[in-house]
Amino acid sequence: MISAQTATDRIAATLKNLGVDPTTSGVSTGNTWAKGEGDILESYSPVDGALIGTVRSASKAEYEAAVVAAQAAFLEWRNWPAPKRGEVVRQFGEALRKHKADLGKLVSYEMGKSYQEGLGEVQEMIDICDFAVGLSRQLHGLTMHSERPDHRMYEQWHPVGLVGIISAFNFPVAVWSWNTALAWVCGDVCLWKPSEKAPLCGVACQHIIAEVFKRNGVPEGVSVLINGGREVGEWMSHDERIPLVSATGSTRMGKAVGAAVGQRLGRALLELGGNNAIIISDKADLDMSLIGCVFGAVGTAGQRCTSTRRLIIHDSVYEAFKQKLIKAYGQLRIGDPLDESNHVGPLIDAQAVATYQKALKAAVDQGATLLVEGGLVSGPGYESGCYVKPAIVEAEPDMRIVQEETFAPILYLLRYSGDIHEAIAIQNGVKQGLSSAIMTLDLREAERFLSAAGSDCGIANVNIGTSGAEIGGAFGGEKETGGGRESGSDAWKAYMRRQTNTINYGTKLPLAQGIKFDL
């Protein structure tokens, strides 16, 4: 276990390398930093309970000034050629490569995920920059044949303008980059409200991008950082000057954002909760399945929107796989995530711990059985009070607690005894629809799972787990997950507006549908 003093000293050097003052403003339009006249956000590490730093959040007046700066910046930025914008994003990716170790360590220490996962999160940022650079030379529309002679029809895509980004604590930097890298090459400007539980990660990212922007003459306001509490998200959601708000977080939060943005006929890109399941078929490779299930359930201490919450196991392999899981859980090492020998770090804060404890109690009260009991981890090195043991619960699919998403390492084991259709029905029988997977060596089962009659989730995998998406594919889900798509594929279209154009190059003006209108 790394002592609190050693860890604090180590992160102090990391902050210095990233150019972050531990007592800083969290309001910036680029290289310009406002005073931060709002509340003070104190960032305590769940690793050891130490105070990392304080961030001064935005007042309403500072928010207004930031939006005005973003509006002015958009008028210039939208006219930069898209490949030139792409070159700036390419340089951002290079800067992230330079700062990968330090930013990954800050993510690990401020949020609590393992250092390897922190590095992986920064790698996601690098990957989406690479993706966006190629995209900057595409952004293509279509051409269509006109029914009228001497006419040409085509469509093109233009930037929407200001993009508001509300991100969650569990991926304090990657989700921002998923939005900004695409939005910037599309010609938009971005206003980011990071999670108040990880404000220093946002400050670090702004320092990195500001250096790149300054070197390239990018106008102030293309990247805006607005730290603060719930009120900042509400300002963005109700602000008619921000046509698109991308929000990542709980379903409850997403419904509030969606209602506010929808009321003013804006666009909301929502990435919300998941209650993700893996089906373990009787035709599965159980040894291979084990790694995906365990990492999916305990990675980031179960605080991923794609974390595996439910295992739907065929009755014929249920006991064998259950024993494999119990044995694997007995080998998990819980502790400081900066120590790379540990598998599981802390939950984000005391509130998350309380939610975890409440869920386990509810499971027992509803008739479930604790196979691996879980509970708090205490003693030297665990003084933050945020460390818990991953739990395995034997339950029934229709139990109320199983239907809910608990952001903690609780894994529910569910049986099925029929064919793949029964398993899919259990998989789909929750309100959330983010990620799903099946472990099977049977081609028919796999294809059925991926068919229109199969998984109803935005992500459906075969022989890999629910957690760990690549940036090349669109990320998002259905039902109470919100319906949004970020990252790869054609998710870039969310950050642009479509325009259909018709050009008459003839000497007459015929009307569509053969309408006659003579003067």
pLDDT of residue 2: 54
* Contact criterion met (CB below 8 Å) for 147 and 512: yes
Would you state the pLDDT for residue 235? 98
Which residues lie below 8 Å from residue 354, measured CB to CB, with a gap of 6+? Answer: none
Range name among 8-17, 240-249, 342-351, 431-440 with the lowest pLDDT average: 8-17
Q: According to the model, what pLDDT value does residue 1 have?
A: 47
Cα gap 231→13, rounded to integer Å: 32
**Among 471, 469, 420, 467, CA closest to 442:** 420
| Catalytic entry in 62, 117, 271, 445 | 271
Shortest CA distance to 199 belongs to which of 58, 92, 67? Answer: 58
Quick: pLDDT tens for 98-121.
999 999 999 999 999 999 999 999
DSSP 250-297: -HHHHHHHHHHHHHTT-EEEEE----EEEEE-TTS-HHHHHHHHHHHH
pLDDT in tens, 393-418: 999 999 999 999 999 999 999 999 99
Cα torsion angle, 30, 35, 36, 40, sign: positive
Question: Measuring CA to CA, how many Å separate 468 from each of 121, 161, 308?
Answer: 10, 31, 11
Task: Write the pLDDT tens digit of every residue in 183-221.
Answer: 999 999 999 999 999 999 999 999 999 999 999 999 999
Is 220 one of the catalytic residues? no
Q: Which candidate in 305, 405, 480, 486 is catalytic?
A: 305
Single out the residue of 175, 164, 328 nearest to residue 257, CA to CA. Answer: 164
Q: What is the mean pLDDT of residues 445-463?
A: 98
> What string of DSSP letters covers 416-448?
E-S-HHHHHHHHH-SSEESEEEEE-S-HHHHHH
DSSP 83-124: HHHHHHHHHHHHHHHHHHHHHHHHHHHHH---HHHHHHHHHH
- The interaxial angle of helices 82-111 and 174-186, nearest 10 deg, is 170
pLDDT at 481: 98
Integer Cα distance of 471 and 492 in angstroms: 12
Confidence at residue 507, expressed as pLDDT on a 0 to 100 scale: 97
Please say whether the beta carbons of 243 and 162 come within 8 A.
yes
Place of tokens 């969650």: 168
- Beta bridge partner(s), residue 399: none
pLDDT over 70 percentage in the chain: 98
**pLDDT tens digits, one per residue of 262-302:** 999 999 999 999 999 999 999 999 999 999 999 999 999 99
Close Cβ partners of 305 (under 8 Å, ≥ 6 residues apart): 168, 170, 248, 271, 272, 273, 274, 434, 435, 481
What integer pLDDT is reported at residue 7 of this predicted model?
Answer: 62
- Mean of pLDDT values over 313-332: 98
- For the chain, the average pLDDT equals 97
- 224 pLDDT more than 90: yes
227 has pLDDT over 80: yes
Q: How many whole angstroms separate alpha carbon 67 and alpha carbon 241? A: 8
**213 Cβ partners below 8 Å, 6+ apart?**
30, 31, 88, 222, 223
Q: What is the mean pLDDT of residues 328-356?
A: 97
Q: What is the pLDDT of residue 4?
A: 55
Tokens of 445: 């089962």
Q: What average pLDDT score do residues 487-507 get?
A: 97
Statement: residue 340 has pLDDT above 80: yes
Provide the pLDDT for residue 279: 98
If you ran DSSP here, which 8-state letter would residue 481 be given?
T
Q: 40: pLDDT confidence band, cut at 50, 70 and 90?
A: very high
Is 271 assigned a catalytic role?
yes
